[in-house]
Structure 1
């Protein structure tokens, strides 16, 4: 079954519960933002004896899938295979003593822990810090993660390398083909692509304190991520929809670490649709994950994060999942705390006057270097 709905009637004096269970095969996180308002609109129309009149869907999932199959074989897209092969071809020093085993390291044997950041840290993480650097939340999170991994390597005798190779999962709704509109398309959109980011050398105490080198690290990572065309959409196309490039990419190693930022979701008690207070998110709600226990883990360590918009303010929630044969719970928790320390450091850095600024990707029609931009910004501040 791809869809089941169960109405739990609590009687005339108490609100009931509508349980909506949809397979991940046909929905993603963005799909819920389409389905739930449509459900409320249809319910209200039915209560008034009218047929539901929902907004049209611009591009169907079927048509989008057909367009992707064509795009994967387009010569300009196929030429990207060199970029991805070069990225994965560079040596990636191991984070653990062992390697991932598809027989031993399965979903059923995986361990996980969940940690969260309070609103006073999460709010600037979502607003002032990315705004100051003309960046996205992912840029900030990945910069902090690269810093934490580099410090973890140093403390555990895994070298002093600061570059980090990982798989990043995206929402996959990049409208890379002209004439499409995915704003109301329900389905499982996703993209998974490797990134190699290097925040540069940094003293950990400076990172925790929010020193000025953090700004340079964030700008560096932001530019490295911008070098990947179409937010990495091409990798999946060439890996799975183009037989020629797919064979080449399949022979390359898989990164040891996986990362996914799912975005923002309402917490319990929040209205599903503004202006409809009778429909709220139930306290039992959750983005549940189910998989065959025998499924092989894709990575030895994965971080899945999201923001819960609670009444007291937003909270960043991170679920760490690992293969216990490779990672101990103590090591994972230490790494998770270091990631949060680096995030707090970036927030402290963003609070200081004079921080932030642009990077070359903000000016695609020019050939300004980072040095040129910073000189112009300094001159503008003096004149101002």
Structure 2
């Protein structure tokens, strides 16, 4: 949150959005009551951003009225809802007002008594993160089910409050053992860098309004092993495997042995005994720099699924395991400790941002309270005037489909700093590097030993 506010610029529209399938015959009073139960139960949905950059949370249940936050749109005569969803998902974030305590807005798409409707739920990013939705959506369904049975909703209790977590972070940032990490983070930020892009990033000029994007999808046959075989073979996790592929691709494209990446983590670290953040809604995300050092590796061998691919994976995995508490200390020392912050702000942030969101059921099923089929029409929830944090951002997620898991990669960059052909070339190189890691983990022949027909078949699979 401090990272966001330090960037300056507007943030009112910055939000996350889900689109859910609601039961046929749903009525606005019951939906309002279910939403009210959600707001009353989760404190961050009642937060207000003060002029001092603090979050003030209203404790009284009912002080934020769901009836004022839920709109109805009649779509009973519309068969294809995508246009209506796209229109509302662009309009509704503009209704958020964190300074006034409006962190939530919703739209009910009323499809009539005989057809399942939709519920668009928009929450300001200061109050929610990706993990929070795994709490909010089931709680909303639970509240709805109770109301449908004539009962008052009773949601599972929240463990550690976000208020307590926030206070703990302030204490942790000054703990001597944590302060001792500052030298580690200064060394990471001082690692060699190769400039990325045709010109330096200018946050005043390069805003979200000028972002360009590219989405590519990896086939299930390659995605599956990235979640299972490759991590188990190399003794690491899926995130580390994806970062290994990114390091190999960037190093190959830029001719460097040093790749610096800003990595996002879920941030829900058990810093002290007795914490329970499993049901706490809020923005916990951590962000920390990682130096991926490929010194001495034969990149050609690694990209051809040779022994260097395994060496790279194990080295990256080891580097990330060496970071205390999965990197949360960087943000603490950079933003919450005035003694260590100056030394960590001397160097600019890495040019590349990376976020692996995990594995989710892909939208497309019409089951009640599932992510609706029209979810692909949702807007991005960005604030057009907010300065861009990185020259290039990669957000990756695995969608579970009936045909198997597929890795979906969203690349974004400011127009004029990079070009689409440059980004596409890097994206293709990343998929090729991931494929090489799969081949190496499977014990198959190096890519250099494959026939041209086999190489052509592999390339066709990547294009798919």
TM over 0.5: yes
In structure 2, the residue matched to 1:99 is 200
Pick aligned residue for 1:140 from 230, 233, 241: 241
Answer yes or no: is 1:280 the counterpart of 2:370.
yes
| Aligned partners of 2:365 and 2:373 also within 8 Å | no
User: Which digits, 9 at most, give the CA deviation of each residue in 1:111-148, with x for residues without a partner?
Assistant: 11111111111111111111222211111000000000
Correspondence list, 1:222-241, <5 A: 222-241=317-336
Are the structure 2 counterparts of residues 278 and 301 from structure 1 closer, same or farther at C-alpha, using a change threshold of 3 Å?
Answer: closer
| Aligned partners of 2:137 and 2:369 also within 8 Å | no
Query: What displacement does 1:353 show?
Result: 7.4
Pick aligned residue for 2:302 from 207, 210, 213: 207
CA–CA distance in structure 2, aligned partners of residues 210 and 54 of structure 1: 50
| Aligned partners of 1:102 and 1:296 also within 8 Å | yes
Answer yes or no: is 1:7 the counterpart of 2:108.
yes
Correspondence list, 1:153-232, <5 A: 153-154=254-255, 161-232=256-327
Are the structure 2 counterparts of residues 245 and 54 from structure 1 closer, same or farther at C-alpha, using a change threshold of 3 Å?
Answer: same
| Aligned partners of 1:31 and 1:187 also within 8 Å | yes
CA–CA distance in structure 2, aligned partners of residues 250 and 203 of structure 1: 34
In structure 1, the residue matched to 2:351 is 256
Answer yes or no: is 1:52 the counterpart of 2:153.
yes
In structure 1, the residue matched to 2:183 is 82
In structure 2, the residue matched to 1:16 is 117
| Aligned partners of 1:144 and 1:342 also within 8 Å | yes
Answer yes or no: is 1:292 the counterpart of 2:292.
no
Query: What displacement does 1:97 show?
Result: 4.1
Unmatched 5+ residue regions in structure 1? Answer: 155-160, 272-276, 355-384
CA–CA distance in structure 2, aligned partners of residues 323 and 300 of structure 1: 7
TM-score by length of 2: 0.71
CA–CA distance in structure 1, aligned partners of residues 432 and 105 of structure 2: 41
Answer yes or no: is 1:108 the counterpart of 2:209.
yes
Answer yes or no: is 1:30 the counterpart of 2:131.
yes
| Aligned partners of 1:148 and 1:338 also within 8 Å | yes
Aligned to 2:125, what secondary structure does the other structure show? coil
In structure 2, the residue matched to 1:345 is 436
Aligned to 1:232, what secondary structure does the other structure show? helix
Which aligned runs of 4 or more in structure 1 are off by greater than 4 angstroms?
Answer: 200-205
Q: Over the residues paired in the alignment, what is the CA RMSD in angstroms?
A: 2.0
User: Which digits, 9 at most, give the CA deviation of each residue in 1:338-358, with x for residues without a partner?
Assistant: 00000111111121279xxxx
User: Which digits, 9 at most, give the CA deviation of each residue in 1:183-208, with x for residues without a partner?
Assistant: 11111111010000123444555334
CA–CA distance in structure 2, aligned partners of residues 27 and 218 of structure 1: 32
User: Which digits, 9 at most, give the CA deviation of each residue in 1:60-111, with x for residues without a partner?
Assistant: 1111001001100111111111111111123312133421112222211121
Answer yes or no: is 1:244 the counterpart of 2:335.
no
User: Which digits, 9 at most, give the CA deviation of each residue in 1:138-173, with x for residues without a partner?
Assistant: 11000000000111013xxxxxx2121111111111
Q: How many pairs does the alignment contain?
A: 344
| Aligned partners of 2:173 and 2:333 also within 8 Å | yes
In structure 1, the residue matched to 2:51 is none
| Aligned partners of 2:354 and 2:395 also within 8 Å | yes
Are the structure 2 counterparts of residues 11 and 100 from structure 1 closer, same or farther at C-alpha, using a change threshold of 3 Å?
Answer: same
Unmatched 5+ residue regions in structure 2? Answer: 1-101, 446-464
TM-score by length of 1: 0.85
